[in-house]
Amino acid sequence: MNSEIVLEACQLKKSYHKDRIEVPVLRGVNLQVQRGLITSLVGRSGSGKSTLMHLLAALDYPDDGQIHFAGERIDNASRSRRDAYRNQNLGIIFQFYHLLPELTAMENVLAPLMISQSVLHFFNHRKAAKRRAEEMLDRVGLLHRATHKPSEMSGGEMQRAAIARSLMANPSLLLADEPTGNLDTDTGQEILSLLNTFNQDDGLTILMITHDDAIAKNSDTCYRMQDGELNSETAKLQVA
């Protein structure tokens, strides 16, 4: 695997079953995500984009094919290794934020560390963890809302909190599934600008799934998915 390729999917296939009917979703997908770039995967609803995202995040298993992260095969790894891969190497944000409603913005941002560490370890390092959370909230422009719960925040603020949470562990790859899909145009542009800042300032590698060509065209590399396939002749476009 090329050292510049941080994530690679090889001939991924995935089908679901409804009664006795098999419904193919991915039909042999090949995808490469290059380190330090923003890669977009664009396609209509139902084309298989989110299914592919779940496989790349090790939230589901492919029926066939392989997924490699930094040269290591991850799709057939043990459950504990897959969990570690998500907690330590990936940041993930979604269209609907997935913040815990009973927690403040600060507590939501701290949640990944609280989950991945033992109670004793987190207690002993809680001050450093809080400083890191404050830093991330500040970078997304949300430090002044640290004590507010999701019900007290706008959609854009909730997505900013979700971004801060996803980057708490300093991941090498961010998976963004329709990050602007639930936002108005202006707020969506603010979120995209924020992601671009992390890419440019920190070298964060980003794979973004979207249905919007206008978003995809601003990426370094764009793949187009249709009917569960990426056509190697027409789907991958280098964007100037």
Q: How far apart are CA 222 and CA 42, in angstroms?
A: 7
Angle CA(68)–CA(66)–CA(79) in degrees, nearest 5? 75
pLDDT score of 88: 87
Measuring CA to CA, which residue among 39, 49, 35, 46 is closest to residue 178? 49
The structure tokens listed for 189 are 């542009």
**pLDDT reported for residue 235:** 42
User: Cα(228)–Cα(213) distance, rounded to whole angstroms?
Assistant: 18
What is the structure's pLDDT at 234? Answer: 38
The pair of three-digit structure tokens given for residue 5, joined into one six-digit string: 């390729």
Do 132 and 164 meet the contact criterion of CB atoms below 8 Å apart?
no
Overall pTM surpassing 0.75 (yes/no): yes
Q: What is the pLDDT of residue 231?
A: 59
Report CA Rg, the chain. 18
Provide the token pair at 14. Answer: 């995935």
pLDDT tens sequence for the chain (240 residues) = 455 999 999 999 999 888 888 888 999 999 999 999 999 998 887 788 889 999 999 999 999 999 999 999 999 999 999 998 998 899 999 888 889 999 999 999 998 777 666 666 666 768 888 999 999 999 999 999 999 999 999 999 999 999 999 999 899 999 999 888 888 889 999 999 999 999 999 999 999 998 888 888 888 988 888 878 875 433 444 443
Domains of the chain and CATH, by start? 5-238 (3.40.50.300)
Q: Are 109 and 165 in contact (CB under 8 A)?
A: yes
Residue 237 is predicted with a pLDDT of 46
- Predicted pLDDT of residue 239: 42
